[in-house]
Amino acid sequence: MKTLESTIEIAVRFSETDAMGVVWHGNYLKFFEDAREYFGAEHGMEYLDVYGQGFYTPIVKSDINHKASVYYGQKVSVKAILEYHPASKIVFKYIVTNLATGQIAATGSTTQVFLSVKENLLELMKPSFYAEWEEKQNWIENE
């Protein structure tokens, strides 16, 4: 399966940690969001582009596997990997690496669907603007 990816570096802020100075587990979803936003800017498919085409892309599933701690003052890299799927969904995988230790701190995934802004209905077919964007990426394998 071919993929597209992007990596962002994030400095851990004090407000993202618990009383022990460790990144609070819920903030990994925020790191995933930051990585998706960076991915969109880098690959030409930002949230406002999707909204401008009349769609929201809510997350319907998320998964995080915590592997090692990250502490206040450290930096992480978050790799967002978009996998191609023929279905009308967007699936990202993530790898969060502690740059101070080189350890993988967490892995995870999110699944998003297309929801029309006007009708508030789930789009069962991949929207044409998104399918065209995928084609331009030259990453789809011929089935």
pLDDT digits (tens, 9 = 90+) for 56-101: 999 999 999 999 999 999 999 999 999 989 999 999 999 999 999 9
Mean pLDDT of 18-46: 96
Mean pLDDT of 111-134: 95
pLDDT of 48 above 80 = yes
CA-to-CA distance for 103 and 69, rounded, in angstroms? 9
What CATH fold (topology level) applies to the domain 3-127? Answer: Thiol Ester Dehydrase; Chain A (3.10.129)
Give the mean pLDDT of the chain: 94
pTM of the shown model: 0.93
Q: What pLDDT is recorded for position 1? A: 58
Contacts of 74 (CB under 8 A, 6+ apart): 11, 12, 98, 99, 100, 101
Q: What pLDDT is recorded for position 142? A: 46
- % of the chain with per-residue pLDDT over 90: 90
What residue spans define the domains of the chain?
3-127
Q: What pLDDT is recorded for position 141? A: 57
Q: How would residue 139 be classed by pLDDT, with cut points 50, 70 and 90? A: confident
CA-to-CA distance for 29 and 107, rounded, in angstroms? 11
